[in-house]
Amino acid sequence: MIRKPIITVLGHVDAGKTRILDSVRGTAVAEKEAGGITQHIGATEVPIKIIDSQAGELLKKYKFDLQIPGLLFIDTPGHEAFTTLRKRGGSIADLAVVVVDIHKGLQEQTKEAIEILKSYKTPFILAANKVDTLQGWTLQEGSISESLKIQRPEVIESLETKIYELVGQLHTMGFPSERFDRVTDFTKEVTIIPMSAKMKVGTPELLMFIAGLSQKYLEKKLEVHEKGNCKGTVLEVKEEKGLGKTIDVIIYDGMLSVGEEIAVGGKNGIIKTKIRALLEPKPIGEGSPNEKFNNVKEIHAAAGVKIAAPNLDDALSGSPVRHYSSEAEQEIKDEIQKIKVDSDAIGPIVRSNTLGSLEAILKLLEERGIKVKKADVGEIPRKDVLEIESVAEKDQFKGVIFAFHTKISEPAKVEAKKRNVKIFENDVVYRLLEEYEEWMQGEKDKDKKSKLSNLVMPVKIYVMPNHTFRNSKPAIVGVKVVEGKLKKEIKLMKNGEIIGKVKAIQNEGKEIDEATKGMEVAVSIADAIVEKNLFEKDELYSHIPQKQFSELMTIIDSFTPEEAELIDEIKKMEQQEEVEA
C-alpha cells in the first residue's frame, strides 16, 4: 500500500510560505465537489481528485501516472517544524517546497533551509513566488504555463533574469536547477516553479510536480504496512483544556487504535502510556464552537493526530512514537541517546527545544569541525554554566553555550554574568553560528590589539642628510620611515648594536605617538651622539627582545608581507650580534 507523501514548506520570513499553504488549501476548498480537503492535526490532506482536477492535463503532458491517495501538507511552515519531523537517518518529510521571493532570491534563512534539507537528504522544489509583482505582469489565475503565454516579451525577459539569478545561487550551493518546463532530469536538477500564491498563479504546477515527483522517485519510501506497527514523530506537546498534556503526532507508517499502549521519548526516559483518545479537528461549522475535536477509533498513515494519554507531561517534541514493546523502548532510547551528547570533549554545550532542532544544529557544528561537550533538550540550567567554565579556562573559544530555540534559566543568566561565560541565543541556527563567529573574530582582534600594544613593532628608518637638529642629550635628527611603525620608547640599533631610545617624535612641529611608512619626522634619541654612534644616511632598526619574536609569530597575519620580512631581518641581525658577542 502507498501512503500520501508528507510535504513541508520552508523559506525566508516574508517569502510567502503561509500564502503557498493557503493557496493549496484554497484550491482544495474551492473544489469541495471534487472531494474536499481533510484537516488533520498539524497537517492538511489534499486528495488525489483535487490534484487531478487542477493539473490533469499537465500530468498527462509530463507522463505522471498518479497512484498516491493524495498529499499531506504539514501546516506549520519553517525550519523548526521540518527538523522536528525527524526519524533515524533523515526526515519523515518526503519532499519540501522552498519558497523564495523572486525579487530577493536565496536569502539567509532560505540558504539555511536548503543546508538543512541537504543534511537530511530531502529533495525539494523551489517556488519562485510573487511573479505578479514583476513590472507589467498580466494577471491570469491558474496554470503558470498558460499565464506565460500572455506575457509581453519584456516581462518574460525580466522573469528569465530572475530565474537565472536563482539558478546561479543554487549552483553555488551545489544544486543544478532549471525552470520546470526546461528540466531534463528531475533526479539531478531542482525544479523551479514561478508562481504567485496571492493571485493563485502556478498552484496547479506546484501540486502536479509535488505529486508527480513523489510518485515517480519516492514510491519505495511511500510503501506502508496498513495494519503494521505504528511509526510516528511527536510534532508538538500541548496542554488542552479538559485533556491535560497531549501530543500532536504525524504517523508515517502503520496504524494506531484507542486503547493501545505506546512508547514515547521523555525528558527523563521513555514514557509508556495507553491511548485514551485519538482526536482529529472538527470540520469548520460542525458542532458547538467549544468542541474542537472529533474522536476517532483508529488512524492510518500518513496522518496527523492528537493523542490524549496519561503521563505525557515530559514528552519530547521530535521523539519517535511506537506501539509499546521492550524492543520499541530500546529503539527510542538508542535514537535519543544517538542525538544527545555527553563527552569529555573540549567544546561547547548545546541545548535546543526539540530533538530535531538539536540534531540540526549538531549536524551544522559537525560540518564546521566543532566538537561538542554536551547536547540536550530543554532550557539552559545553572549547572551548564558551571560546567562550561572549566572548558573556557582551557580554550575561551570552545567554552561557550549555544541556546538554539530555547530559554536560559534566570540562575544560569546570573551565573553566566558573574563568571563571564558567553551564551549565544537565537532561533535561527545560521544567525546563532554567525554571532559566534563574529564574537570569536572580535575577541581574536582584541587579543591581537592587546599583544601589539605590548610588543616592540618592527621598524626601519633612514637618517636624512642635512637634518641634524641637535647632536646629543638627546640627539635630534630628521628621519624617513622606510618600513613598519616608529613608536616612542623603543630602542634603536645599527648592525645589531643598540644606539639609544626614542624619546619623542615630531611631525610638522607637533608631537605624535607614532610615525608610519613614508613619513618624514624629527626624532629625539636618548644616549645617541651624532658623529659618534649616529651618522647621516644611517639605517636604524627597532631592537626586538629575543623572547618577543615567538609572540610576534602568533600574530604574524597582522603584518604586511614587507613588515613580516623586516621581522625576519631584525631577528637575524639580533642573532648575529649574540654570536659575535
Indicate the annotated binding residues for GTP: 11-18, 75-79, 129-132
For the annotated binding site, the residues are: 11-18, 75-79, 129-132
Contacts of 299 (CB under 8 A, 6+ apart): 251, 255, 256, 278, 280, 305
What is Dmax (Cα atoms) for the chain? 108
Q: What is the SS3 assignment for 279-309?
A: EEECCCCCCCCCCCEEEECEEECCEEEEEEC
- In angstroms, rounded to a whole number, what is the distance separating the alpha carbons of residues 51 and 203? 10
Of the candidates 507, 500, 441, which has an alpha carbon nearest to the alpha carbon of residue 473?
A: 500
Grid look-up 511509526 returns 231
Cell, residue 54: 487542477
Q: What is the SS3 assignment for 406-437?
A: CCECHHHHHHHHHHCCEEEEECCHHHHHHHHH
Count each helix (H run) and each strand (E run) in the chain, helices first.
14, 33
Of the candidates 206, 203, 264, 200, which has an alpha carbon nearest to the alpha carbon of residue 231?
A: 264
Query: 304, 40 in Cβ contact below 8 A?
Result: yes
Cell, residue 2: 502507498
Whole-number CA gyration radius for the chain: 34
Contacts of 254 (CB under 8 A, 6+ apart): 224, 225, 226, 227, 228, 229, 230, 231, 300, 301, 323
For 336-379, give the DSSP string: HHHHSEE---SS-EEEESSHHHHHHHHHHHHHTT---SEEEESP
Of the candidates 537, 551, 365, 559, which has an alpha carbon nearest to the alpha carbon of residue 462?
A: 537
Query: 558, 484 in Cβ contact below 8 A?
Result: no
As to burial, measured by CB atoms within 10 angstroms (0-12 exposed, 13-18 middle, 19+ buried), residue 315 is: buried
As a whole number of Å, the end-to-end CA separation of the chain is 91
- In angstroms, rounded to a whole number, what is the distance separating the alpha carbons of residues 517 and 412? 50
- In angstroms, rounded to a whole number, what is the distance separating the alpha carbons of residues 172 and 166? 10
**E strand or H helix at 50, and its extent?**
helix 48-61
